[in-house]
Amino acid sequence: MIIKQASFRFYAELNDFLKPSDRFQDITVPFKGRQTVKHLVESLGVPHPEIDLILANGQSVGFEYLVQDNDRMSIYPVFESFNIAPAAHLRPRPLRNTRFILDGHLGKLASHLWMLGFDATYMNDCVDDILADISQSETRILLTRDRGLLKRKQVTRGYCLRSLDPYQQLLEIMRRFDLKESLQPFTRCMACGGLLYDVDKSSIYQMLQPLTRKYFNSFKQCTDCGRVFWSGSHSQHMQRLIDQLYFDLD
């Protein structure tokens, strides 16, 4: 079978997924037969949900495009915070109601997202098949460090976290999806992510410890799990983290 070749160039953070010797330069990719651009970019290690624009010889194409001999392919990352029209995005943009689903290794990041008021689904025992299906059916951005998970066909929105540190992961998400103006702190349950609502002290009085009954009067309750929250020392700690986040995002 005749061996063909095409030139690939990846831009910005997509280079994080490439071998160091291939980053920020043209890559010659040999291939046989009929190969889609999706197959070839993922064979190089780049998950397709990280991609929002593909140019073949300067023309916008989709993932199903069959790469031709001597094609020049330019691959760009997801642009969440600005418009690249009239080029054809590979998925609907932008995601106005940003929602997430996290894999089982990202529990601390899930707590951070709930603290900031984001709609984030997290189940620590959820298998990859279900994560991918929920991401597709509920239009949620799949957050993971597993590149293989992001390469699944049904995953169209996703992000591969670079850092292992939960706070640095949070900064990545805030910057990548331009979410600084979308924060709504203390509006979701820190146990399950459900929405909180104001509740009268008398209605949850029996759920409170004696000192809490004595010193606190304002309470919120989770619509999903029923857990009760008030502004104690834990709130002060979270507020310091939020203040640091705003500082780091400036």
pLDDT of residue 89: 57
Q: What is the pLDDT of residue 94?
A: 46
Q: List the chain domain ranges.
A: 3-77, 99-182, 196-249
Supply angle C-alpha 50, 193, 119, rounded to 5: 35
Q: For domain 99-182, say whether CATH 3.40.50 is its number.
A: yes
Rg, the chain, Cα only? 22
Q: How many CB atoms lie within 10 A of CB 27?
A: 17
Per-residue three-class SS string for 141-161: EEEECCHHHHCCCCCCCEEEC
| Residues 83-133: tens digit of each pLDDT | 455 555 565 444 457 899 999 999 999 999 999 999 999 998 889 999 999
Assigned CATH topology for domain 3-77: Ubiquitin-like (UB roll) (3.10.20)
pLDDT in tens, 32-52: 999 999 999 999 999 999 998
State yes or no: pLDDT of 62 exceeds 90.
yes
State the chain's mean pLDDT as an integer: 90
Lowest mean pLDDT among 52-56, 88-92, 181-185: 88-92
DSSP label of 248: H
Q: So what's the pLDDT on residue 98?
A: 87
Q: Which of 128, 120, 130 is nearest to 99 (CA)?
A: 120
Of the candidates 80, 110, 109, the one whose C-alpha atom is nearest the C-alpha of residue 94 is 80
- Whole-prediction pTM: 0.77
What is the Cα–Cα distance from 60 to 86, expressed in whole angstroms?
10
Of the pLDDT bands very low, low, confident and very high (cuts 50, 70, 90), residue 233 is confident
CB distance 73 to 7 below 8 Å: yes
Beta strands per DSSP E along the chain = 3-10, 27-32, 51-56, 59-61, 72-77, 99-102, 119-122, 141-144, 158-160, 196-199, 219-222, 228-229
CB atoms < 10 A from the CB of 50, how many?
22
* Number of neighbouring beta carbons within 10 Å of residue 51: 21
pLDDT in the model for residue 95 = 45
- pLDDT value of position 10: 95
| DSSP β-bridge partners for residue 199 | 219
At residue 223's C-alpha, the angle toward residues 185 and 170, to 5°, is 30
Under the banding of pLDDT at 50, 70 and 90, the label for residue 1 is confident
pLDDT higher for 87 or 245?
245
pLDDT, tens digit (0-9, with 9 covering 90-100), for 140-162: 999 999 999 999 989 988 999 99
